[in-house]
Structure 1
Amino acid sequence: MRDMNNVFHLAIPARDLDEAYTFYVEKLGCKLARRYADRITLDFFGDQVVCHLSQDYDQEPKMYPRHFGVTFRDRTQFDNLYKLAKQREIPFFHDMSLRFEGLIEEHLTFFLIDPSNNLLEFKYYHDERMMY
């Protein structure tokens, strides 16, 4: 089992680091940890996302199978992020929807898209036991 003192790490392509900085830090509210000529390292909701400068990114992104994000335990935090995304006009790939309605795994979800076509999914399960 993961010790919560440890941090999950994900590396993603970024076509332009200034665009990535604007999206993740200025709009989404992530904390910049480090910046180098070829990458930026971010505190992404308590985990580490590294945006590596690359021209090898999805030209036509699809939700499945490749995306990443956060599953919230707290509905208020989920709602606040959704409101922030709307207020700051962060681009949505797919607006909020309800998945698996009426089933135990019912959850709310929305997808954002960053300037390099990386898809970010944010979820909230009505039954916390379904998070995994």
Structure 2
Amino acid sequence: MSAIAQFHLAFPVRDLDEARRFYGDTIGCPQGRSDVSYQDFDFFGHHLVAHIGGDGAPLQNGRFDGEAVPVPHFGMNLDRESWEALAKRLKAAGVSFHEEPHLRLKGKPGQHVTMFLFDPSGNALEFKSFDDPEQTFIP
């Protein structure tokens, strides 16, 4: 694979404001896109997303762009050529996807393609490719 841009980690938190203070104010991570259920952070160039449940408890499934996503999960933000090659490789290997490769945030800032799968131990993986990598951390 060619140019790998950023590691991606989505993780559960008990309180988004607490996470914003810690990652944003204490550590100094710029904040990106967010809503009532998640907050993106630029973690020294890598892509962290804090997710919370409606009752304040960490989730097993978060929400993003109207869809349930497994939390925690990790993966990579890839260039498009590498993402397409990986999708083809996974399909050829008969991998069962949790979310088939598809477009997310269509027509919005941060538009990207994504796919979710689980490794043999049940760890959730997400691979994505932003149409414009400069929009990874936009609010």
Mapping of 1:29-44 within 5 angstroms? none
Deviation at 1:66, TM superposition (A): 0.9
2:65 aligned with 1:68: no
Asked if residue 126 in structure 1 is aligned to residue 131 in structure 2, the reply is: yes
Q: Provide the C-alpha distance between the structure 2 equivalents of 1:68 and 1:101, rounded to a whole number of angstroms.
A: 22
CA distance, structure 2, for counterparts of residue 119 and residue 82 of structure 1: 16
Q: Is the 8 A contact 1:91 1:114 kept in 2?
A: no
Structure 2: gaps (5+ residues):
1-6, 10-59, 62-68
Amino acid at match of 2:71: P
SS at match of 2:85: helix
Find the aligned partners of 1:115 and 1:64 in 2 and give their Cα distance: 15
Residue among 111, 115, 121 paired with 2:120: 115
* Moved beyond 4 Å, runs of 4+: none
**Aligned counterparts of 2:121 and 2:83: Cα–Cα separation in 1:** 24
Are residue 88 (structure 1) and residue 76 (structure 2) matched?
no
Aligned-pair RMSD on alpha carbons? 2.0
Cα offset, 1:101, TM superposition: 0.7
Number of the residue aligned with 2:106 = 101
| Identical-pair percentage | 37
- Higher strand fraction: Structure 1 or Structure 2? 2
Instruction: Provide the aligned length of Structure 1 versus Structure 2.
Output: 73
Gaps of 5+ in 1: 1-7, 11-60
SS in structure 1 opposite 2:120? Answer: coil
Deviation of 1:69 (Å): 0.3
Residue aligned with 1:103, SS: coil
